Amino acid sequence: MITQAFYNKIIIMLCLFLLSLKALAQEKSLEGNNETKIISTFRTEFYDLRGTNAFDFAIGTSVINGDFVDPMFEIYSHFGYKRHIAPHFSIDIGYHKFNLAYIDVYNEGFMSFDINLELTILPHSKFSPFLFVGVGLNASNHFKETANKFQGGLGFEYIVTEKIGVKLYSDYSYVFSDVLEGLEAGNSDDTYFRLALGVDFYFGGFKMKSKKHKEQATVIDSNLLNDEYYIKK
């Protein structure tokens, strides 16, 4: 059974996430006149703060929710790459190394290979919550046991300087196996949680930024011509 302290951390992260959604709603409400809408459509702050590609590293803790009692928090580390297909959306491919353990009963090393679709809520701001969901392959050390899984999670990122972001995130993995810890019992498959602090190193995006500027200039020029036409009429 997972400790109450861990659930409290997840609840706090969820509350912060909801507050960030409120900030997003307020930002959208400010998009009033036509000029503001044009600027919003062609925003480029994302390419200054972040970029179209990123390598990320993280370290934290993992805990199993399985068939034994008294699970332990164990070490967890992650390395990955993500590609933004748009400022709000990215594809994230990651390698995760971690242990799952119970006090005095079980301690085993695992790895997972995950692919996620990630949503960045406020891509043009230094601080942004994010959500992700995806599928993966879970494996014990030396691939003695493997099982498919799906996962989802949420987190927060803060850009400390251009192209470098610090993030805190948690994810939940549902493994299609009830023998993750070597015991088959109960009516459901095994699951585990991971909580980590990491760093994103962004790069790329110069071409997309230039393209956005050109498109914005074209739209503004077109609107000016239309305004002049109607004034003359």
Query: Distances in Å between the alpha carbon of 162 and those of 84, 90, 152, 155?
Result: 16, 19, 28, 20
* Whole-angstrom distance, CA of residue 97 vs CA of residue 168: 17
User: How do residues 121-131 score in pLDDT, each as one tens digit?
Assistant: 999 999 999 99
Amino acid at 60: G
Count the Cβ atoms, other than its own, within 10 Å of residue 114. 22
For the chain, what is the domain count?
2
**CB distance 43 to 216 below 8 Å:** no
Per-residue pLDDT, averaged over 24-29, amounts to 56
Cα four-point dihedral sign 103, 106, 111, 117: negative
**CB distance 137 to 113 below 8 Å:** yes
Same domain, 62 and 168: yes
What is the pLDDT, as a whole number, of residue 23? 59
Same domain, 175 and 71: yes
User: How do residues 208-232 score in pLDDT, each as one tens digit?
Assistant: 776 665 665 555 445 544 544 444 5
Pick from 37-41, 70-74, 79-83, 117-121: least confident: 37-41
**CB distance 160 to 23 below 8 Å:** no
Same domain, 38 and 88: no
* Whole-angstrom distance, CA of residue 154 vs CA of residue 172: 9
Same domain, 189 and 226: no
Same domain, 112 and 149: yes
Q: Which residues contact 84 (CB under 8 A, 6 or more apart)?
A: 46, 50, 51, 52, 53, 54, 90, 205
What is the pLDDT, as a whole number, of residue 230? 43
Integer-rounded Cα Rg, in Å, for the chain is 22
What is the pLDDT, as a whole number, of residue 225? 45
* Whole-angstrom distance, CA of residue 228 vs CA of residue 24: 35
Same domain, 123 and 224: no
Same domain, 87 and 101: yes
Domain range for 92 is: 4-30+53-203
pLDDT-above-90 percentage for the chain: 55
Q: How far is CA 127 from the centre of its chain?
A: 13
Same domain, 26 and 40: no
Structure confidence at residue 183 as a pLDDT band (50, 70, 90) = low
**CB distance 192 to 64 below 8 Å:** yes
Pick from 39-43, 102-106, 188-192: least confident: 39-43
* Whole-angstrom distance, CA of residue 216 vs CA of residue 212: 6
Give the pair of three-digit tokens for residue 58.
């993280």
Same domain, 61 and 142: yes
pLDDT at 88 over 60: yes
Same domain, 110 and 149: yes
Q: Residue 205 carries which DSSP code?
A: -
What is the pLDDT, as a whole number, of residue 190? 85
Instruction: CATH number of the domain at 135, please.
Output: 2.40.160.20
Cα four-point dihedral sign 90, 132, 178, 2: positive
Pick from 3-7, 143-147, 152-156: least confident: 3-7
Closest CA to 112 of 47, 33, 192: 192
Query: In this predicted model, which residue has the larger pLDDT, 4 or 116?
Result: 116
pLDDT-above-70 percentage for the chain: 69
pLDDT at 6 over 70: no
Same domain, 8 and 38: no
Query: Distances in Å between the alpha carbon of 83 and those of 86, 102, 151, 205?
Result: 9, 36, 19, 11
User: How do residues 188-213 score in pLDDT, each as one tens digit?
Assistant: 788 999 999 999 999 998 777 766 65
What is the pLDDT, as a whole number, of residue 132? 98
Average per-residue pLDDT for the chain? 82
- Hey, which of 21-25, 139-143, 154-158, 216-220 has the most confident mean pLDDT? 154-158
Same domain, 37 and 23: no
